[in-house]
Amino acid sequence: MEYSRRTTRSFVIALLALCGCDLGTSPGSDPRLDSSADGRYFTYALNQSFSLEVDVHTDAGYGWYCAVSDTTVIHLDSTSYRPKSGNWNMNGGMTVETFYFRTTRMGLCTINLAERRGWLPDVAPINMMEFTVIVHD
């Protein structure tokens, strides 16, 4: 069964390459993505860590909600916040939220994020982003 999954994954990756699809980039040793990752593909090695930094309107009650399509391929380890200005005592202003991910198995995985107010689940998000990660050995 595992052989069949590997063959299928390899076939999908080869098909994407042959169709002219951009297989993305493989950033350096400490890959840090930002909002420009939206709509892109990235390739990472197995057991590699990477992070995503996005601005969030926490002063207006918004937060980013992250959904990983296959948590056996990509694991969300943690998140952290910091003021964009560098000063927590400043009123208003933007906050930067950092998501820390780790690749755990070969495969293809999509990460979706939506910036919204958690207590208003039926209201459309003010920002959304999606990117795809291909994990190889």
Give the start-to-end residue ranges of the domains of the chain: 23-136
pLDDT tens figures, 52-64: 999 999 888 999 9
Give the C-alpha separation, 92 to 60, whole Å.
8
What fold is seen in the domain 23-136? Immunoglobulin-like (2.60.40)
Specify the pLDDT at position 14: 44
Q: How confident is the model at residue 15 (pLDDT cuts 50, 70, 90)?
A: very low
Percentage with pLDDT > 70 across the chain: 74
Specify the pLDDT at position 33: 96
Using an 8 Å Cβ cutoff, are 51 and 32 in contact? yes
Specify the pLDDT at position 65: 96
